[in-house]
Amino acid sequence: MLGDQAAARTAIESRARAILESAGYERIETPTFEATELFARGVGESTDIVRKEMFTLTDAAGRSLTLRPEGTAPVCRAYVEHGMHKRRQPVKLWYLSSFFRHERAQAGRFRQFWQVGAEALGSEDPAVDAESIALLATLLSELHVRDVRLRLASLGSIESRLVYRVRLQAHLRANEESLSGDVRERIELNPLRAFDSDHPGTQAVMASAPRLLDHLSEDDCEHFAQVRALLDVASVPYEVDPTLVRGLDYYTRTVFEFTSDALGAQSGVGGGGRYDGLIEQLGGPRTPGMGWAAGIERIMLAGDSRPPAPAPLELFLALQEPQPALRSIAFTLLGEARAAGLSAQMDLGERSLKGQLGHAAALGARFVAVIGGEHATLKDTQDGGQQTLAPDAVVHAVLRAHTSL
């Protein structure tokens, strides 16, 4: 991440911080490595992430460690380990971190990428779902991500999904010969992933498959209806997509994905959902959870991520001669100027005076001071005004000019 991209990312980070922290989310940073077991159990053995995308290594003590492929399981681990269930619920946490997946790299898909994410732990309230989704909608809109669409569905609770799974598996088995090898292999482990297949035979079979949304329990239907009603109240547009499945196993009830038509094949900008069984699965108390993550690189690709204009350089200190005594004076003034809140730089390249002045111009310096032994010359590059003064009066003179601007 270089230059303009780094500046654009800083802008995304400060928007995310402003939006999430004013909604009560606190920053969390989990370790880059976790025990492999956390992801195997949390994300799910049948997912692509666990089956083929994790960077896993064995440390000197023989422990299996994995570079985090996602942030939800680590946040849940931290919630349990730090006894956060004793705090006022829901506990709301946000992160902006790098993640690692061994995928085939292409536009918008990287092996190391960044996500901004938000997790709310400890409440089943449908308002948590709606607030969480609305916050991501706000973030994407404020970052001018183009052509955004929100797809929404409910996967139901673990119990209602079990009943549905049996029906779906029966449908898949009855049409086994038309399915892709990959889907056929996963009929037992993860039949829902068949909805995500781009294999034409599988797609034809799925067109007539029973829909999970038609098999939700009354409680799940009511929960989903309330989430939708609150999104309507918040004027967040969405389309209900009964075929929406996500690439991680921990979801229950609400799931959603924001896509951008500006992105091409990798159209997912951000997504998430509820994961009411995950913390318990990781050995903690039964605790509901809801959250999302959005890809920073994809936001930058699909957004109007013009970097903010760099802060102007207020003072450049040039040396009349390449002498250590002058360098020392300039160095002292540099510290003074910065302590006074000015942005200041000096020559660090042993350039000639002409070279230094050219460098100051390239940096867009407003004031340039040429430091001689007894005197300094201070030039205002905007109005061309010039004055000769004692070197130790330079910072004061720039500050005075500054406050009168």
Q: Would you say 253 or 379 has its CB closer to ligand HAM?
A: 253
Does 270 sit near ligand HAM (CB under 6 A)? yes
Q: At what angle do helices 126-142 and 218-233 cross, to 10 degrees?
A: 40
Does 271 sit near ligand HAM (CB under 6 A)? yes
Which stretch, 170-178, 270-278, 315-323, 367-375, contacts ligand HAM (CB under 6 A)? Answer: 270-278
Output helix, strand, coil percentages for the chain, rounded to the nearest 5: 45, 20, 35
Question: What single letter denotes the amino acid at residue 105?
Answer: A
Q: Would you say 23 or 393 has its CB closer to ligand HAM?
A: 23
d(CA 158, CA 212) in angstroms, rounded, equals 12
d(CA 294, CA 257) in angstroms, rounded, equals 9
Does 292 sit near ligand HAM (CB under 6 A)? yes
The burial class, CB within 10 Å (0-12 / 13-18 / 19+), for 120 is buried
Does 131 sit near ligand HAM (CB under 6 A)? no
Closest by CA to 275, choosing from 266, 288, 263, 286, is: 288
From 272, 277, 284, 303, residue interacting with ligand HAM (rule: CB under 6 A): 272
Does 269 sit near ligand HAM (CB under 6 A)? yes
Q: Would you say 271 or 284 has its CB closer to ligand HAM?
A: 271
Q: Would you say 255 or 333 has its CB closer to ligand HAM?
A: 255
From 103, 196, 280, 336, residue interacting with ligand HAM (rule: CB under 6 A): 103
Does 298 sit near ligand HAM (CB under 6 A)? yes
Which stretch, 79-87, 167-175, 228-236, 287-295, contacts ligand HAM (CB under 6 A)? Answer: 287-295
From 42, 44, 74, 119, residue interacting with ligand HAM (rule: CB under 6 A): 119
Does 117 sit near ligand HAM (CB under 6 A)? yes
Q: Count the site residues for ligand HAM by CB under 6 A.
A: 27
Question: What single letter denotes the amino acid at residue 215?
Answer: H
Closest by CA to 274, choosing from 131, 106, 155, is: 155
Question: What single letter denotes the amino acid at residue 218?
Answer: E
Task: Give the binding site for ligand HAM (CB under 6 A).
Answer: 70-72, 101, 103, 109-110, 113, 115, 117, 119, 247-248, 268-273, 275, 291-295, 297-298
